[in-house]
Structure 1
Amino acid sequence: MLNVESKVDRRHKNIIKELKKHGKVKVGELSKSLSVTDETIRRDLEFLENQKVLIRTRGGAVQSASEGFEVPSMEREQKHLEEKEAIARQALELVEEGEIIAIDASTTSLQLAKLLPNMSLTVITNSIHVSIELAKKEQITVILTGGYLRKESMSLVGITSDKIINDYHVNTFFMSCTAIDASWGVSDSHEMQARTKQRIAELADKIVVLADHTKFEQRSLVKWINLDEVDTIISTNDLEDSLAEKYEQKVKHFLRVAL
């Protein structure tokens, strides 16, 4: 038994070493290099995710939010997809025809863009994916912020983006994030991404945070807004009751939807 535990510990150390070196790992590559089965590696990754060392993705894992690493958008879109869709359906109820809304470059917000009906609406976004989705709906006016393209998130950020959006008014800003902490606030893993969100939030009457249960009790690289500045947080019943009660005290409205 002691030898088995020792092998497991060494395997975990090797996985963490590769993760820090490359930012991400693949199940197949790890199973070959460590001479174990794919299923063994998957169990290792599950254990390390529970220890908040990493975040599992399809076929592998990436560093956790606390490490300041941004997961590529295509991988993030597949994580907790059922939760993101449920959160987006709830968020849709907060959108009224004729409004000016902003949608950030998050995969949860992308689900909201997919659900928006073809109605009279103006949408400001820094997301290439969101703009492509909304281009299918002729009644929706789309305003792209401009700026530098971040390929990891397919988002537009930087000083140019800030200047373009400076004079706009926003009724409601729908956004997600890398992490939420009850005392520290809302944070993201990339500084320019966080600053763009912060600027849009300053223009908005209401701020709605869309967050699956994995985002809570986490801190990422850059904090950009306090929870008392957030109007609504939407999550799901996958979030523990005790945590939900904790965050209900921090914002005006905390909504949990059933899956």
Structure 2
Amino acid sequence: MLSVESKVDKRHQKILDQLKQMGKVKVHQLSRDLTVTEETIRRDLEFLEKQKLLIRTRGGAIQSSSEGFEIPSLEREKKHLKEKKNIADVALKEIKEGEIIAIDASTTTLQMARKIPNIPLTVITNSIHVSIELSRKEHVTVILTGGYLRTESMSLVGVTSDKIINDYHINTFFISCTGIDVSWGVSDSHELQARTKQRIAELADRIVVLADHTKFDQRSLIRWLPIDSVDTIITSSSLDAAAKRRYEEKNFHLVLA
């Protein structure tokens, strides 16, 4: 007769096998397939996420190493929310009244947009969520890039977007990313999203990366910005000491929030 531990291990392996095959799993389906309660499956997914073997989503999970797969924005917003808010507070100090800034479509920069004061400011963005937040502030002028709508991130991308922003001047571009690596650069999981951000970056005087500690030492599908093009990196105080040292040794302006 199998021990309790062996049963759990076998169940975990079946979950991972199905995840590898399908790319994602659902709690209710796993509950039926493995003949255990949904609460048991949720505990399994929580354990496997702590082992960094998957990423939990609403009602299921996806592979932790799924390159090219982007977690829907509402799911991403919940992760490391306190860190993102702290990063946003520090990022506000990089804004001056009357400037032209750009903000990309990410859950970290969304926290920043929510905190931007109602001051004379021009904001260029490809994020529907950011534009809605800033529309409540009468002194902030919002310019949407246009383009094709990606519902996963509620962002506008594509050639149309690139053409619209082509003649703008930008003081500072605030970006987030899927991965940042001291040797490889800044990367994202979706090609069109990356290309749109790359075009905006070419127009900016300064680039400020907002990234919580989980983004460091990660390489996602599309590298779109060389690390040397980054002026400032704002991250959480929980960043690993070794990672912090690697960036400081290369003389990056690294700010801990």
Give your verdict on TM over 0.5.
yes
Q: Which is further off, 175-184 or 142-151?
A: 175-184
Return 5+ residue gaps in structure 1 as ranges. none
- Residue aligning to 1:24: 24
Percent of aligned pairs with the same residue?
A: 71
Instruction: Determine whether 1:168 maps to 2:168.
Output: yes
- Structure 1 residues 6-36: Cα deviation after superposition (integer angstroms, max 9, x where no partner): 4334323322333345443333443343233
Output the CA distance in 1 between the equivalents of 2:28 and 2:215.
Answer: 27
Q: Which residue of 1 aligns with 2:108?
A: 108
Partner of 1:14: 14
| Distance in 2 between residues matched to 1:138 and 1:31, nearest whole Å | 50
Counterpart Cα distance in 2 of 1:123 and 1:198: 17
1:56 aligns with 2:56: yes
Report the counterpart of residue 98 of structure 2 in structure 1: 98
Q: Which residue of 1 aligns with 2:149?
A: 149
Moved more, 129-138 or 39-48: 39-48
Residue 246 of structure 2 is matched in structure 1 by: 246
Residue-by-residue CA offset, 1:61-97 (whole Å, 9 max, x unaligned): 2222553210001111111111111110110111110
Q: TM-score, normalised by structure 2?
A: 0.91
Q: Quick check: 2:23–2:66 contact (8 Å CA) kept in 1?
A: no
Change in 2 beyond 3 A, CA 1:148/1:250: farther
Tell me what 1:209 maps to. Answer: 209
Normalising by structure 1, report the TM-score.
0.91
Contact 2:180–2:217, Cα closer than 8 Å, also in 1 = yes
CA 124–256 in structure 1, closer or farther in 2 if over 3 Å, else same:
same
Query: Is the partner of 1:160 in helix, strand or coil?
Result: helix
Q: Does the CA-based 8 Å contact 1:110-1:129 persist in structure 2?
A: yes
Aligned length in residues: 257
| 1:109 alignment partner AA | T
Please state if 1:231 is matched with 2:240.
Answer: no
TM-superposed deviation, 1:59: 4.2
Contact 2:113 2:130 survives alignment (8 Å): yes
Conservation of the 8 A alpha-carbon contact between 2:127 and 2:155: yes
What is the deviation of 1:243? 1.5
Give me the whole-angstrom Cα distance separating, in 2, the residues matched to 1:232 and 1:65: 27
Deviates more, 1:95-104 or 1:242-251: 242-251
Which moved further from structure 2: 2-11 or 138-147?
2-11
Contact 1:86 1:236 (8 Å CA) reproduced = yes
SS of equivalent to 2:70: coil
Any stretches of 5+ residues in structure 2 without a counterpart? none
Q: CA deviation at 1:234?
A: 0.9
Do 2:207 and 2:230's aligned partners in 1 also have CA atoms closer than 8 Å? yes
Matched residues in 1 for 2:135 and 2:221: separation?
33
Inter-partner Cα distance in structure 2 for 1:190 and 1:109: 17
Deviates more, 1:50-59 or 1:204-213: 50-59
Is residue 213–residue 239 contact of structure 1 (8 Å, CA) maintained in 2? yes
Q: Distance in 2 between matches of 1:120 and 1:237?
A: 31
What secondary structure does 2:94 align onto?
coil
What's the counterpart of residue 70 of structure 1? 70
- Judged with a 3 Å threshold, the aligned counterparts in structure 2 of structure 1 residues 126 and 53 are, in CA distance, closer, same or farther, namely same
Give the C-alpha shift of residue 186 in structure 1: 1.0
Read off the aligned partner of 1:80 and give its amino acid letter.
H
**Alpha-carbon RMSD:** 2.1
Q: Which amino acid aligns with 1:26?
A: K
Query: 1 CA distance for matches of 2:124 and 2:208?
Result: 15
